[in-house]
Amino acid sequence: MCVLVALSLPTLGGCRGDVEPAEAGEAARAMEGASAPFDSISPEELYGASPAENVWSPRLELEAAGLPDGWEGIEIAIIADPRLGGWNGNEEVATAAVQMALEANPDLIVLLGDFLVEGTDFGLLQRVFAPIRDRPVYAVLGERDIRSDSIAANIAAALQSVGVRVLRNAAAPLVINGDTAWIAGADPELLNMGAGERAYILATLGVPGRTPLLLMHTPGLARGLPNNRYPIVLVSDTFCGDVPVPGSGSLARLRETTFPDAAVEGVERLFQLEGSTLVVNCGIGYSFVPLRFGAPPEVPIVTLAGLGEPTEAAVDTTTAVPDSLTQSEVQAGDSASSTISPPVEQALPGAP
């Protein structure tokens, strides 16, 4: 079980400044006869600030059962949906988001997918995320990242080359202040699997009673989670604004269709499932225009607080652990420092 202690959310996703009437008139005139007006008018002229300047960092405090003592009070920065390869300003926004996460100096950074929504510029991922090389960073892929096996492999390799641990239906240990816990990641490919196989994977990631975090791009996958296995589930793939964005989920759909009885009253981005709290991230990327009504790009900082021992179901050690979680990994995790070591530098595979 998780309880929201504090959450600050915007009522409007407008920009930080207003366009003066004269400036608005100039913008309107510039649009006349333009085949692609958003290419000729800067976001600053239209909205008073650039999309990168609108990145903000809401703070949340969540309580989780069974949290190791060393994890008490740790902070987690979340970056989701950079959507690189789409609108050409998304690189600047993602760069600003990475910098904001680093300035918060969290204990852990998590990335929630949809990194490269178009194209095959895998070097772009390396440029954007290179500054987090020496931090503990875990990631899952998004649906747009797995549009082909080769693209998924290249994206994972690009992230791994800058020290990111990519979790594709797997889990990995992290030691903080001498205590080990596991971080699990569910891959969107689960959507293409049979119900039985999907349920088995979701029931066997990580170590029972010691996996406080589950990362997923797609919120709907949480409908198949076992009770009390993952206290906190971080998801994205949702545009939280007032105007729907094609290809993205919406909060209204989550509340009305996906989790109709699980919404936390008064907080539209939290859902209380059986033994898990689902935290929805609004992402940072823009679609084909620099516009996010009601949902400015965000880098939430989540603080974890303990909530007693895990339930009996959560510490059932008879539950199978996937082959990817070997005993050697557990032992290595227990003796590691509080940060993960970046993988050995490797060359990216050839583009498909």
pLDDT digits (tens, 9 = 90+) for 207-225: 999 999 999 999 989 988 9
Separation of alpha carbons 243 and 255, rounded Å: 16
For the chain, give every domain's residue range. Answer: 4-11+54-335
pTM confidence score: 0.75
Q: Convert the pLDDT of each residue in 145-161 to its tens digit.
A: 999 999 999 999 999 99
Decide: 47 and 24 in contact? Cβ < 8 Å: no
Paired residues of 344 in beta bridges? none
CATH topology of domain 4-11+54-335: Purple Acid Phosphatase; chain A, domain 2 (3.60.21)
> In angstroms, what CA-CA distances link 348 with 84, 125, 153, 246, 335?
18, 11, 9, 31, 30
- Give the per-residue pLDDT at 258: 76
Query: Is residue 277 within 8 Å of 286, Cβ to Cβ?
Result: no
User: Residue 256: which pLDDT band, with cuts at 50, 70 and 90?
Assistant: confident
Considering only 72-76, 190-194, 217-221, 317-321, which range has the smallest mean pLDDT?
Answer: 317-321
H/E segment holding residue 174 = strand 170-176
Q: pLDDT band at 3, cuts 50/70/90?
A: very low
d(CA 280, CA 52): 21
